[in-house]
């Protein structure tokens, strides 16, 4: 009699969308390209943002939607009392509650940052989000490919899209299939 019992446990490894190797992944579309910004340090800050910013990254402007953030530190405004700080070098911060009225969480790997650029960036973005880029919104948070993301510029025809790490795979595959 044939043995119909499975020889191994069900392999669910192939069920999930494969995650690209972010250290080498690049995409070249028609008039745009994409890559992941490597090795950024990240802090999530809640509470008194003015004081937090003065302590953690003095003279760094709060960046809203589509605004240009240049330099090695980005203070990306999520909401009225919440922001994501990204930096090339780690910022000197004690995780936890600060008596001056704000809380800091280490978020180095919690987010992934996609860099998109090129002459046809604008028409790509118009497919990725409904938001009015010229709306001068104080918050960089919006929906990108239907997912919660922070969207801002870093130079002319170049944007960074910060998403929670697991969502980066989804957005990457969205871009691959565009």
Partner 1 sequence: MQLFSCPFCGPRDETEFTFGGEAGKIRPEPAPEVSAEDWSKYLHRVGNPRGATSEIWVHQTCGEYFLMERDTVSHVVSTTNALRKS
Residues that bind partner 1 (CB under 8 A): 65, 78-80, 82, 130-132, 135-139, 141-143, 148
The residue among 66, 43, 53 whose CA lies nearest residue 144 is 66
Measured from the CB atom, is 65 or 112 closer to partner 1?
A: 65
Shortest Å distance, C-beta 6 to partner 1: 42
SS3 assignment, position 106 = strand
For the CB of residue 40, give the shortest distance to partner 1 in the complex, in Å: 21
Judged by beta carbon, residue 117 or residue 160, the one nearer partner 1 is 160
| Six token digits for residue 12 | 């669910």
Helix (H) or strand (E) holding 90: none
Q: Which CB atom, from 33 or from 62, has the smaller least distance to partner 1?
A: 62
φ/ψ of 54, rounded to 5, equals -60, -35
Shorter beta-carbon distance to partner 1: residue 97 or 130: 130
Q: How far is the CB of 134 from partner 1 (least distance, A)?
A: 11
Q: How far is the CB of 11 from partner 1 (least distance, A)?
A: 36
Q: CA nearest 152: which of 19, 23, 91, 61? A: 61
Q: Which is nearer to partner 1, 88 or 148 (CB)?
A: 148
Q: How far apart are CA 177 and CA 124, in angstroms?
A: 12
| Minimal distance, residue 78 CB to partner 1, in Å | 6
Q: Give the burial class of 137: count Cβ atoms within 10 A of its Cβ; 0-12 exposed, 13-18 middle, 19 or more buried.
A: middle
């Amino acid at each position: 009699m044939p043995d119909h019992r499975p020889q191994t446990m069900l392999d669910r490894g192939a069920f999930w969308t494969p995650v690209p190797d972010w250290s080498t992944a690049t995409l070249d579309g028609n008039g745009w390209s994409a890559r992941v910004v490597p090795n950024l340090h990240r802090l999530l800050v809640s509470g008194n943002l003015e004081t937090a910013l003065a302590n953690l990254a003095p003279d760094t402007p709060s960046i809203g939607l589509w605004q240009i953030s240049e330099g090695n530190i980005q203070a990306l405004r999520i909401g009225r009392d919440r922001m994501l700080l990204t930096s090339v070098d780690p910022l000197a911060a004690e995780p936890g509650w600060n008596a001056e009225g704000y809380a800091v969480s280490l978020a180095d790997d919690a987010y992934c940052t996609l860099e998109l650029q090129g002459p046809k960036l604008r028409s790509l973005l118009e497919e990725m989000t409904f938001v009015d880029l010229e709306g001068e919104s104080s918050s960089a948070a919006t929906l990108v490919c239907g997912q919660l993301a922070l969207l801002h510029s870093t130079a002319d025809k170049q944007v960074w899209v910060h998403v929670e790490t697991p969502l980066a795979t989804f957005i990457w595959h969205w871009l691959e299939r565009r």
